[in-house]
Amino acid sequence: MAIFKDNYFTNDIYSLRTERLKIIKNYILDWSGHLSLPKELLDWGMTALNRWQNILKKVEEKKSESNDIFLKLKEIDEVTFKYYLRCKRLINNKYSENIKILHPYGIDSKFPRNRQEKISVIRKMLKTFSKQKKQNEPDIIPEDFIIKLETLLQKSEALKQKTQSDGRSTSAEAVEKQIEIFKDDSKKLRTLYSWTLMTWEPDEPYLVQLGFAVKPKKKNSFEDETEEGLE
């Protein structure tokens, strides 16, 4: 059985909170009659562990889903950017001396490091090709290559939008719910601890069976009784 060092419930790390709730679930029914616990506290003590473990699991799942989305975005971006650089190299090799061709396509500038700037550079190439196509100018690069680049860009941007709408938001919602449950359970723990002290003294060894720390015995049991766990 776990030994608890204090009753400052709002300071619990998540693993400690889990241990408190496990022990409460195991013993609260046994002590409910002796401590005259109200039904509300008994029902909470019997169900709090499952609720807590479910939200912990959900948070991990949402974080994993979010990480998967960002990993997929990184992978498709890499494919998109590499293919753009191939197109750029192809044009540059063929028209290296013709600045009038290189400049509109952005071939005469370095590929940026920032993602959004990279996207802008790719869009510039696609827009220039489309404009020249409408003007019936000869293709300086096969249209199939441009179509492939445009398809890759669309995939990158679609996945980027998904990360913004589904990625962080769903994970953040789960974390917010976890914090809400943690705070609510902290209040319930304080209430349960206060209730036990109506029957037991703070140095009662059986307190550990309800997830509470047992204070050392004092010569004067009334001396210096603090509000630990009641903050």
> Whole-model pTM?
0.65
Compute the distance between CA of residue 198 and CA of residue 209 in angstroms, rounded to an integer: 16
Write out the residue range of the structural domain in which residue 90 sits.
64-182
pLDDT at 150: 96
Total number of domains in the chain = 1
Identify whether 167 is part of a domain.
Answer: yes
pLDDT tens digits for range 132-166: 888 888 878 899 999 999 999 999 999 888 877 76
DSSP 1-15: --------GGG--HH
Question: Is a pLDDT exceeding 80 seen at residue 110?
Answer: yes
pLDDT tens digits for range 11-61: 999 999 999 999 999 999 999 999 999 999 999 999 999 999 999 999 998
| 2-6, 79-83, 107-111, 226-230, range with greatest mean pLDDT | 79-83
Which value, to the nearest 10 degrees, does the dihedral of the CA atoms of residues 111, 116, 119, 125 take?
-60
Identify whether 41 is part of a domain.
Answer: no
The CA–CA distances, whole Å, from 24 to 3, 27, 118, 179, 207 equal 13, 5, 56, 20, 10
Query: Hey, what amino acid is at 200?
Result: W
Compute the distance between CA of residue 26 and CA of residue 118 in angstroms, rounded to an integer: 58
The single residue listed with the structure tokens 């050392």 is 216
Identify whether 93 is part of a domain.
Answer: yes
CB 49 within 8 A of CB 185: no
Identify whether 133 is part of a domain.
Answer: yes
Question: Is a pLDDT exceeding 80 seen at residue 169?
Answer: no
Identify whether 199 is part of a domain.
Answer: no
41 is written with which tokens?
A: 């506290």
Compute the distance between CA of residue 18 and CA of residue 10 in angstroms, rounded to an integer: 13
pLDDT at 231: 47
Identify whether 80 is part of a domain.
Answer: yes
Identify whether 43 is part of a domain.
Answer: no
Identify whether 59 is part of a domain.
Answer: no
For residues 118-125, give the mean pLDDT.
93
pLDDT band at 229 (very low <50, low <70, confident <90, very high): very low
Q: Percentage of residues in the chain with pLDDT exceeding 90? A: 64
Question: Is a pLDDT exceeding 80 seen at residue 226?
Answer: no
Q: Is 100 exposed, middle or buried (0-12, 13-18, 19+ CB in 10 A)?
A: exposed
pLDDT tens digits for range 92-105: 888 877 888 788 88
Q: Where are the beta strands (DSSP E) in 141-202?
A: none
Going by C-alpha positions, the residue among 195, 215, 193, 194 that lies closest to residue 204 is 215
